[in-house]
Amino acid sequence: MTAPSYTQGPREKALLVMTIGEAFDRSATRFAERDALIVVHQQLRYSWRQLAAEVNRAARAFMALGIEAGDRLGIWAPNCAQWCISQFASAKVGAVLVNINPAYRCSELEYALKQSGCKWLVCADAFKTSDYHAMLAELLPELASSSPDQLASSRLPELRGVISLADQAPAGFLHWRELAELAETVSAEQLAARQATLHCEQAINIQYTSGTTGAPKGATLSHFNILNNGYMVGESLGLSEHDRMVIPVPLYHCFGMVMGNLGCVTHGSTMIYPCAGFEPEASLQAVAQERATVLYGVPTMFIAELDHPRLKAFDLSSLRTGIMAGATCPIEVMRRVIKELHMSEVQIAYGMTETSPVSLQTAADDALEVRVTSVGRTQPQLESKIIDEQGAIVSRGQTGELCTRGYSVMLGYWNNPQASAEAIDTGGWMHTGDLAVMDEQGYVRIVGRSKDMIIRGGENIYPREIEEFLFTHAAIADVQVIGVPDSKYGEEIAVWIKLHPGSGCDENQLREYCKANIAHFKVPRYYRFVDEFPMTVTGKIQKFRMREQTIAELGL
* pTM (two decimals): 0.86
Q: Provide the pLDDT for residue 439.
A: 97
User: What pLDDT, on the 0 to 100 scale, is given for residue 537?
Assistant: 67
> What architecture is the 20-199 domain classified under in CATH?
3-Layer(aba) Sandwich (3.40)
**Closest by Cα among 543, 476, 544, 480 to 510:** 476
**Residue 213 confidence (pLDDT):** 43
Task: Note the pLDDT of residue 85.
Answer: 98
Note whether 20-199 and 454-554 share their fold: no
Q: How far apart are CA 522 and CA 456, in angstroms?
A: 9
Can you tell me whether residue 479 is helix, strand or coil? Answer: strand
Closest by alpha carbon to 238, among 326, 366, 361, 363? 363
How confident is the model at residue 181, as a pLDDT? 97
How does pLDDT run across 112-167, given as a tens digit for each residue?
A: 999 999 999 999 999 988 899 999 999 999 999 999 889 999 999 999 999 999 99
Given a cut of 50, the residues of the chain with pLDDT beneath it are 211-213
Superfamily of domain 454-554: ANL, C-terminal domain (3.30.300.30)
CATH 3.40.50.300 for domain 6-14+218-449:
no
Is residue 430 classed as helix, strand or coil in its secondary structure? strand
pLDDT at residue 460, rounded to an integer? 66
CA proximity to 149, closest of 65, 61, 68:
65
**Helices 188-196 and 81-93, packing angle to 10 deg:** 70
Would you state the pLDDT for residue 519? 74
Helix axes of 299-306 and 331-340: crossing angle, nearest 10 degrees: 50
Spell out the residues 6+ positions from residue 107 whose beta carbon is closer than 8 angstroms to its own: none
- CA distances to 12, 92, 194, 533 from 191, rounded to whole Å, are 35, 8, 5, 46
What would the DSSP string read from start to end of 131-148? EHHHHHHHH-TTGGGS-T
In the chain, where the domains are located: 6-14+218-449, 20-199, 454-554
Chain centroid offset of residue 110 CA: 22
